Amino acid sequence: MKAKVDKNKCIGCGACTSIASNVFDFGDDGLAEAKVEEVKAEDQEAVKDAEESCPTGAVQVEENK
């Protein structure tokens, strides 16, 4: 699984960083970013929760094929 943040949609609310802090953090621009390329198995549920909780839909989760 991969996680990304669309910087054009992110408002820096912190929902994703508080739900999945192992995967998301704030960048120097004050917006969220994914700090890992590949999401570990133990973080996948939190990442899905972060995607659902993002008020602007900026968090995008891509399942590996």
Per-residue confidence (pLDDT) for residue 64, from 0 to 100: 81
Fold held by 2-62: Alpha-Beta Plaits (3.30.70)
> Cβ distance 50 to 58 under 8 Å?
no
Domain ranges of the chain: 2-62
Does 5 have pLDDT greater than 80? Answer: yes
Q: Report the alpha-carbon angle 7-20-38, nearest 5.
A: 75
12-44 pLDDT, tens per residue?
A: 999 999 999 999 999 999 999 999 989 999 999
Average of per-residue pLDDT across 47-58 = 98
Per-residue confidence (pLDDT) for residue 28, from 0 to 100: 97
